[in-house]
Amino acid sequence: MDERTDQQRREDAWARQGWTHVWHPTRTSPGGARRQYWARPDATGLLRLFEGGAEPPPLTSAPHFYVNGGRAYRADGHPDGPSSVPYYVVNAGRVLASEGYPSGPSERVHFRVSPLRLRGKAVSVRTNPRYEPPA
């Protein structure tokens, strides 16, 4: 019997599509409460962030940011273009403005990061009843 909620089923489907995290805006986020960022790794393993809402964006959209070493940098899909100066810093699931943010670094939390994980999928370890230790 499937005991997952509808929301958990949707999150499982998103995780199967490759989405790994969602950045949820806080009340103090200057971008508004509707804009969320959806994260998925690229072929090199670098985490790319795509602008979306309550649902993930189309897989054909361009990333706005990429995350490298706990810092988020503007990517080609960002309206202001790419930049090598960190725009956000990610610390313990919180996202704060960094040097590249228009008003500069700040302690104000802009986003909270939530992981997307498949539910009900886990490694199970069982003993082998036919196992005989080496003599």
Is residue 121 predicted with pLDDT exceeding 60?
Answer: no
Q: Is residue 28 part of a domain?
A: yes
Q: Is residue 60 part of a domain?
A: yes
Q: Is residue 77 part of a domain?
A: yes
The total number of structural domains in the chain stands at: 1
pLDDT tens digits along 63-109: 999 999 999 999 999 999 999 999 999 999 999 999 999 999 999 99
Q: Domain range holding 36?
A: 6-115
Which pair of structure tokens corresponds to residue 48?
Answer: 């790319």
Q: Is residue 65 part of a domain?
A: yes
Measured between alpha carbons, how far is 119 from 130 in angstroms, rounded to an integer? 31
Q: Is residue 130 part of a domain?
A: no
Going by pLDDT thresholds of 50, 70 and 90, the confidence category of residue 12 is confident
Q: Is residue 35 part of a domain?
A: yes
The three-state secondary structure class of 6 is helix
Going by pLDDT thresholds of 50, 70 and 90, the confidence category of residue 23 is very high
The confidence score (pLDDT) of residue 124 equals: 59
Q: Is residue 39 part of a domain?
A: yes
CA 45, 47, 51 angle in degrees (round to 5)?
A: 145
Q: Is residue 124 part of a domain?
A: no
